[in-house]
Chains A and B, each alone.
Chain A
């Protein structure tokens, strides 16, 4: 299908984007990579009055290594972060997880912040952000606020972002020495949305497992070394309110959380 009509605007400065968002609110949509939004527009599941294209706003195009985090601006396509030379040293979990996002053709345009703003429950980047304890920065004409991943993701395609706010950057905490990062997922074919995706952060005396694709948002659970892991994973699997859908049954999802979770934590893959 083809999208319904809309006006289109291509600002070159962030202030212009914020101005437009404050004027139009719900009636406007941001388009970043378009890799999720275009399908929704084509199927007319959303019909904005105004489409705001942020692709030519230079000041949103940055990858910055700061004291405690790697900050990625809303203009950065996934391919750029994945091929950024220091990605494996600074945030190794991203280097492991990002090749699973769609295909290189969709990573060429899809942005890092767009994936976080979209908040698909099985998406890899929201899972990484949540598991690492990262943050997002939301800006509007009335100011800027920083929100933890924990508070930001509120359900299927639902976040804490107000209609007048632009997600300007995401912040991934830098890797900690002596900590190991692991990632694995199961999908119908490589590049399809995950049925279940898992991220693990294993430090001295701490085990954190992030789980995507099961609940309505990415969730994390902390385990202790020496704890009965099978029992704990079983309890976790039942706690997530897994659903049946065309891809997999709820029972299969629980099974993946138990088996893949144990394998990732105990065997490392």
Chain B
């Protein structure tokens, strides 16, 4: 049984494929740990009570709200943030589709939405528009009205389908 006193301890996890370590008090939310200790500032923090989805990251491959998780709970987990999406110097197909379709304006919501989309498309390679909208219901975007986001997700799904068809 592991106990961490309120003064805190070192927490180790695998961030975007690399083992990283930092200091966290038990009360430190995962989002703050990722931003302040590990420098993953792509994680955005909005409401801090689970409503907006801006802070969404993947923990062991599942999209979760990092404001509703403690850093100490992520000990030894695999955590992926928006920084994991780019392929080297190049943006991923999903990010490019967001740009083409004006799926972002201020971009505050985007990092979280991309992480949900990435998990969702892995599981639903051929989604309907209503499935995409249902997936997006866990995110608030104050700028776009969602239309561009829906279009981007459907477009990238089609793109991947036709690419796989060519092989």
Query: Which residues of A approach B to under 8 Å, CB–CB?
Result: 1-13, 16, 31, 34-35, 38-39, 41-43, 51, 53, 55, 79, 102-106, 108-109, 189-191
Task: Write 5 A-B pairs (CB below 8 A) sorted by A numbering.
Answer: A6-B6, A8-B72, A11-B1, A12-B1, A106-B138
B12 at the interface (CB under 8 A from A): no
Interface size class of B (residues with CB under 8 A): 20 to 34
| Best-buried of A13, A38, A102, A189 by chain B (most CB within 10 Å) | A38
Assess A9 versus B73: contact at CB under 8 Å? Given A35-B50, A39-B49, A104-B138: no
CB-contacts of B45-92 with A (<8 A): 48-50, 53, 56, 62-65, 67-70, 72-73, 75
A80 to chain B, nearest CB (A): 11
Residues in A whose Cβ lies below 8 Å from that of B63: 104-105, 108
Q: Which residue of A lies closest to B73 (CB)?
A: A53
Q: Which residues of B contact A (CB under 8 A)?
A: 1-6, 25-27, 29, 32, 48-50, 53, 56, 62-65, 67-70, 72-73, 75, 116, 120, 134-135, 137-138
Shortest C-beta distance, A181 to chain B (Å), equals: 22
Which residues of B lie under 8 Å from residue A55 when comparing CB positions?
73
In the assembled complex, the CB of B24 is this many whole angstroms from the nearest CB of chain A, namely 10
CB < 8 Å neighbour of A105 from B3, B27, B70, B116: B116
A225 to chain B, nearest CB (A): 35
Contact across chains for A191 and B68 when beta carbons are under 8 A apart: no
Beyond A42-B49, A53-B73, list 15 extra A-B contacts (CB 8 Å).
A2-B32, A5-B25, A5-B26, A8-B26, A35-B50, A35-B68, A38-B29, A38-B49, A41-B27, A79-B62, A102-B138, A103-B137, A104-B116, A104-B138, A109-B65
